[in-house]
Amino acid sequence: MPIKDPRTGKEIIVVDTTLRDGEQTAGVVFSNHEKIAIADLLDEIGVDQLEVGIPTMGGDEKAAIKKIAQRGLKASIMAWNRAVISDIEQSIDCGADAVAISISVSDIHIEHKLKTSREWVLESMLKSVEYAKKNGVYVSVNGEDASRADRDFLVQFITEAKKAGADRFRYCDTVGIMEPFKINKVIKDLRETTNFDIEMHTHNDFGMATANAIAGILGGATHVGVTVNGLGERAGNAALEEVFMALKHVYGYELDVDTKRFRELSEYVSRASGRELPSWKAIVGTNMFAHESGIHADGAIKNPKNYEAFSPDEVGLARQLVIGKHSGRASILKKFEEYGEELDNKAADWLLEKVRETSVNLKRSLFDKELVQLYREYKKVVK
């Protein structure tokens, strides 16, 4: 288990669903070799459980899931299913040691999506759980749209799933409508009422997926679902790298995971998914440790802790001193020190003026070769 609260001993199991919910991002398709490579990377980093796809789709999807299940990874391999026996048969055939059985629990979905009743939902869930447990696999019962479900029905659903032998309940904030203060109370109530393991599965429609996932953990959730880079349907899911690093640095949890490979993992998933990894992306974006503003750059030069919450090498990045419109003299001096040139204040002031002027004209920061060229111009002027 890669996450632990040292104060209480509580351990959190991480469930990565990049290969299932992440690939359900509109327009994203992973090739089979990419799926296997991502599974390997996640396993090497230390993720507990990988939700790797939907076997009932057949074809390449099922073939990739089988190959991943046969690789002997340390992580548990979970396959996603509807509450349908034939789906679960396909998952078992793939060699998955765990199944997620998903069914809607909100009246909105039951009436307008499934066009059925709460009784039918309970019956379908129970039959599926019982079948899966008879076949010796771990079972997560997923409450789709749980955040809009009636509280009493949700308690009934979880209680019945527990009696049938399910191992945990996945609380799905399917349309991302929750907020941290509310979801913390909801999860605390469900844990106290049912005494059952709960996984957080949060979506980012209002930009709160990571916050909601962590709030659920603080409320008592035992598992957390994530995707690399927050990939997922619509606005995405809670980002793996954000959840890990926030729990470590904001909440003081201990991590048994190779965070130094986060940038490598994020870059690979970005390329495989065809989705740009923004420079401003939290935790793994290159701008996390890029300093341009004069005051900030000066502070970072004096002591990186002035403007960095953690060291860049912790996630596989490097600190950058960016020279542009907002730079100050200290940045110019430090940058040329990297080139092996010790400038005096006169040279630094001249270059700073030219840097700002050039940066405005180009509408960007300057490349190293452009700085060197400006310095050559300065040398000509002072001769």
Q: 362-371 contacts: CB < 8 A, separation 24 or more?
A: 364/324, 365/292, 365/322, 365/323, 365/324, 365/325, 366/323, 366/324, 368/339, 371/323, 371/335, 371/336
Residue 283: inside a domain, yes or no?
no
Residue 282: inside a domain, yes or no?
no
Tens-place pLDDT, residues 188-242: 999 999 999 999 999 999 999 999 999 999 999 999 999 999 999 999 999 999 9
Residues 219 and 299 reside in one and the same domain: no
In total, how many domains does the chain have? 2
Residues 201 and 338 reside in one and the same domain: no
Residue 238: inside a domain, yes or no?
yes
Residue 198: inside a domain, yes or no?
yes
Q: Which domain holds residue 8?
A: 3-273
* CATH code of the domain covering residue 261: 3.20.20.70
Tens-place pLDDT, residues 42-87: 999 999 999 999 999 999 999 999 999 999 999 999 999 999 999 9
DSSP of 134-168: HTT-EEEEEEETGGGS-HHHHHHHHHHHHHHT--E
Tens-place pLDDT, residues 122-157: 999 999 999 999 999 999 999 999 999 999 999 999
Residue 279: inside a domain, yes or no?
no
pLDDT higher than threshold 70 for residue 245: yes
Quote the distance between the C-alpha of residue 289 and its chain's center: 19
Residues 241 and 369 reside in one and the same domain: no
* Residue that terminates a domain, selected from 225, 242, 273: 273
Q: What percent of the chain has pLDDT over 70?
A: 97
Residues 239 and 358 reside in one and the same domain: no
Residue 284: inside a domain, yes or no?
no
Residue 215: inside a domain, yes or no?
yes
* Residue that terminates a domain, selected from 213, 243, 273: 273
Residues 88 and 192 reside in one and the same domain: yes
Residues 199 and 55 reside in one and the same domain: yes
Name the DSSP class of 314. Answer: G
Residues 268 and 296 reside in one and the same domain: no
Residue 98: inside a domain, yes or no?
yes
Tens-place pLDDT, residues 2-38: 899 999 999 999 999 999 999 999 999 999 999 999 9
Residues 298 and 269 reside in one and the same domain: no
Residues 295 and 324 reside in one and the same domain: yes
* Residue that terminates a domain, selected from 273, 305, 325: 273
Residues 316 and 173 reside in one and the same domain: no
